Amino acid sequence: MKIRILRALLSAFVAFAGGAAATSALAGEVQVAVAANFTAPVQAIAASFEKDTGNKVVASFGATGQFYAQIKNGAPFEVFLAADDSTPAKLDSEGATVPGSRFTYATGALALWSASNGYVDDKGYVLKKNDFRHIAIANPKAAPYGLAGYQTLDKLGLTAEIKPKVVEGQNISQTQQFVATGNAELGFVALSQIYKNGKITSGSAWIVPPDLHEPIKQDAVILNKGRDNPVAKQFIDYLKGPKAAAVIKSYGYQL
User: Under DSSP, is residue 130 helix (H, G, I), strand (E, B) or coil?
Assistant: coil
**Do residue 76 and residue 151 come from a single domain?**
no
**Do residue 10 and residue 96 come from a single domain?**
yes
The mean pLDDT value for 196-206 works out to 96
**Do residue 53 and residue 18 come from a single domain?**
yes
**Do residue 44 and residue 163 come from a single domain?**
no
- The reply to whether 89 falls in a domain is yes
- Listed in sequence order, the residues at least 6 apart from 104 whose beta carbon sits closer than 8 Å to its beta carbon are 85, 217, 218, 219, 220
Number of domains in the chain: 2
The mean pLDDT value for 150-171 works out to 97
**Do residue 100 and residue 118 come from a single domain?**
no
Q: What's the angle, vertex CA 244, arms to CA 236 and CA 82, rounded to 5?
A: 55
- The reply to whether 200 falls in a domain is yes
pLDDT of the residue at 26: 56
Q: Give residue-wise pLDDT tens across range 68-112.
A: 999 999 999 999 999 999 999 999 999 999 999 999 999 999 999
- The reply to whether 255 falls in a domain is no
Q: pTM of the full predicted structure?
A: 0.84
pLDDT at 12 over 70: no
**Do residue 133 and residue 203 come from a single domain?**
yes
The mean pLDDT value for 40-67 works out to 97
**Do residue 90 and residue 140 come from a single domain?**
no
pLDDT at 18 over 50: no
**Do residue 74 and residue 98 come from a single domain?**
yes
The mean pLDDT value for 168-186 works out to 97
- The reply to whether 172 falls in a domain is yes
pLDDT of the residue at 27: 80
pLDDT of the residue at 227: 98
The enclosing domain of 22 has a CATH number of 3.40.190.10
pLDDT-derived band at 5 (thresholds 50, 70, 90) equals very low
User: What's the rounded Cα separation, in Å, for the pair 139 and 130?
Assistant: 21
User: What's the rounded Cα separation, in Å, for the pair 44 and 252?
Assistant: 14
Closest CA to 119 of 174, 200, 175: 200
- The reply to whether 177 falls in a domain is yes
The mean pLDDT value for 178-191 works out to 98
**Do residue 102 and residue 220 come from a single domain?**
yes
**Do residue 221 and residue 197 come from a single domain?**
no
**Do residue 175 and residue 244 come from a single domain?**
no
The mean pLDDT value for 11-30 works out to 53
The mean pLDDT value for 189-204 works out to 96
**Do residue 14 and residue 90 come from a single domain?**
yes
pLDDT-derived band at 25 (thresholds 50, 70, 90) equals very low
User: What's the rounded Cα separation, in Å, for the pair 213 and 201?
Assistant: 24
User: Under DSSP, is residue 137 helix (H, G, I), strand (E, B) or coil?
Assistant: strand
Q: Which domain holds residue 224?
A: 2-106+216-250
